[in-house]
Structure 1
Amino acid sequence: MVLAEKIVLLRKRKGWSQEELADKLDISRQSVSKWELGASIPDLDKILRLSELFDVTTDYLLKDDVREISSNVSEVFEEMSEPSARRVSAKEANLFMDLTEKLSGRIAFAVSLFILSPVPLMFLGGVAEYKHTRLTENMAGGLGVTILLVLVAIGVAILILNGMQLSEFEYLEKEAIFIERSLAEMVEEKRRTFEPKFRVVVTIGVFLCIIGVVPLLMAFGLTEDEFVYVCCVDILLILICIGVHLFVRYGMVHESYEKLLQRGDYTEEKKALGRKTSYFPRIYWCLVTAIYLGISFYLNNWEISWIVWPVAGVLFAALYGIVQAIYRRR
């Protein structure tokens, strides 16, 4: 008999519900359910506490035992379903994982378009300002902004069309879910198989984002040609675009496993916190977009105003962390 079965039987022997055991351990009921499903293992301090509550030794809990401590083995999996949790079937889980893998490339492409959108504008602006051509700054600005808006529009359309296909699975990010042990083991096996590839891709993405600034730094030291600086910034954005594409494409697949297993950013506690703070990203990014467009149109300096986005990204992480910390203390 494994640890998961022992916890179920010992709890039932005491006549406790999952909620009552969770209260005694000062944890969530979902954590107890995961232990009993075998989807996770209690920490050492929790095992010590369980041995005290059940009046058994830690050796008994940790060592597999073929002997049964209850005459009715069928009770082992009784009450394993969670009344307050949404049950996810194997069909739903497989559909979600397959659909995520299918759409991840498209969504990553859309995000890449957002990053690439200012590149033509900056390049044309640089040509008009620093090269002797018939292209005036007004022509460069008009053409560049047109391309920027077209790329953004295409990206938004792709996100809307593909996001709608995933909308039926939004509950995985917000609600408590329950999956059978066999399904959890299958998802965990997929995650373990995918993990090495994911680590390599993340490493490549981070490398590209860091190395992207090298041409610009070298240009500062080797030349005073400002058009070269503009080209180096374009190269920086292109490399960042490739890195972010990798992050999004493979990150979505990795997150699909995390959502089903309720790990990482999708634990019960973090889901509850996310529901309370969900308003912040929407308000923040609407304000950033308004500020970006306002500054760009007012100053007519599109080749520089793009800096709003990386600054806003870093600032968002800091502010969102503060907002979440405030809600945790409440």
Structure 2
Amino acid sequence: MDTIISYLNNMFAALPRTVQMQELKQDLLGNMEEKYHELKQNGNTENEAVGIVISEFGNIDELVAELGITVEDDGESDAPMLAPEDTGSYMAAKKKSGFIVGLGVVLIFCGVALLILLSSLAESGFLQGILTEDAAGIVGVVVLLMLVALAVGLFIYSGTMMERYSHLHKSFNLPHYLRAEIQQRSSAFAPTYTLSLIMGVGLCVISPVPIIIENVINDNSTTYGVVALLALVALAVFLFIYYGNIKESFSFLLKEGEFSKEKKEENRVTGSIAAIVWPLAVCVFLISGFVFGSWEINWLIFPVTAILLGVFNGIYNVAKGKEHS
């Protein structure tokens, strides 16, 4: 029943908070609660009862139109209205894209790890009679290039697959019932996303452990530890990309976070500034290095530039906050 209440709250979030709307909301909640308990008594499971109730009472657009209620305007009233099949196909494509890109990154990590492993095995004599040290290096490089080529192909395929949804980046609107459904799905996905972040960060934190252990066992070699580190980091990056893409699909459709109007404007301004500042920073780095020979210290240009851009971003946010207050 909590799911239905949360769904109803999301459905009415964009509607005016008037006495009429509160009465309508309470009436609708009463009907939904009655139907829910009826279904439970008939032997339906929790998920079945919730799904049936939402499917029968979830669309209030016609009721809102009949009552002549004005919905809060977000400035995109002329934008096309998305249908359930549009959002469904977009989220499915975004999820698939995350898996493909994550797999491509893992392949690159595997190629590097395999190159290091083959070189180490040949150097230690483990591959004696099978591959010489030079041959092992060549095989490792060839496999690495093949895996990189395959990964690039996956990246291109992913980009091409998402290109069909490029028109959504202009503007779109969602029906109230569909927005409420997506918000509900986003809330349900939040624990999974949080768990993926925890696991990914945990894998990154423990990734140096194999190197430390190998150093304790054998002071002269850390090769196998590096291979294990790359494997752990590859898995962590895959989690970040795959589950991050799913999270991003919800944020994009709901126009939240990075896709809100305010954030888009902020990214446009800071992106324009960064497009000017970073090339200048590179020019200063090269001139100070080749002309003045200050290679040992001029690398500080990049962290200083990043800090200055961060300060500018903070000042801009404060200024925009004062402007809207």
Amino acid at match of 2:225: C
1:184 correspondence with 2:179: yes
What's the counterpart of residue 113 of structure 1? 107
- Deviation by residue 1:87-141 (Cα, 9 ceiling, x = unmatched): 3402322221122233332222112112222111111222233437364443233
What's the counterpart of residue 263 of structure 1? 256
In structure 2, relative to structure 1, the CA distance for the partners of 1:86 and 1:317 (3 Å cut) is farther
1:215 correspondence with 2:190: no
CA distance in 2, matches of 1:259, 1:322: 29
Amino acid at match of 1:207: G
Q: CA deviation at 1:64?
A: 6.9
Q: CA deviation at 1:322?
A: 5.2
Amino acid at match of 1:131: G
Matches of residues 290-329 of structure 1 in structure 2 within 5 Å? 323=309, 326=312, 329=315
What's the counterpart of residue 75 of structure 2? 82
What's the counterpart of residue 201 of structure 2? 206
Comparing 205-214 with 76-85, greater Cα deviation is found at 76-85
What's the counterpart of residue 145 of structure 2? 149
1:102 correspondence with 2:88: no
What's the counterpart of residue 240 of structure 1? 233
CA distance in 1, matches of 2:18, 2:217: 67
In structure 2, relative to structure 1, the CA distance for the partners of 1:326 and 1:167 (3 Å cut) is farther
Amino acid at match of 2:238: H
What's the counterpart of residue 196 of structure 1? 191
SS in 2 for 1:178: coil
CA distance in 2, matches of 1:112, 1:274: 29
- Contact 1:111 1:245 survives alignment (8 Å): yes
1:160 corresponds to which of 142, 156, 170 = 156
What's the counterpart of residue 136 of structure 2? 140
What's the counterpart of residue 223 of structure 2? 230
TM-score by length of 2: 0.61
In structure 2, relative to structure 1, the CA distance for the partners of 1:249 and 1:62 (3 Å cut) is farther
In structure 2, relative to structure 1, the CA distance for the partners of 1:119 and 1:62 (3 Å cut) is farther
CA distance in 2, matches of 1:265, 1:75: 33
Q: How many residues align?
A: 241
What's the counterpart of residue 266 of structure 2? 273
What are the ranges of 5 or more consecutive residues in structure 2 without an aligned counterpart? 1-9, 25-64, 279-300, 317-325
- Contact 2:76 2:171 survives alignment (8 Å): no
What's the counterpart of residue 20 of structure 1? none
Matches of residues 31-70 of structure 1 in structure 2 within 5 Å? 38-39=13-14, 65-66=22-23
CA distance in 1, matches of 2:75, 2:186: 24
SS in 2 for 1:87: coil
SS in 1 for 2:219: coil
- Deviation by residue 1:236-291 (Cα, 9 ceiling, x = unmatched): 1111111211221121111100111111222212223334566869xx9xxxxxxx
In structure 2, relative to structure 1, the CA distance for the partners of 1:239 and 1:40 (3 Å cut) is farther
CA distance in 2, matches of 1:116, 1:136: 21
Amino acid at match of 1:269: E
TM-score by length of 1: 0.60
Amino acid at match of 1:164: T
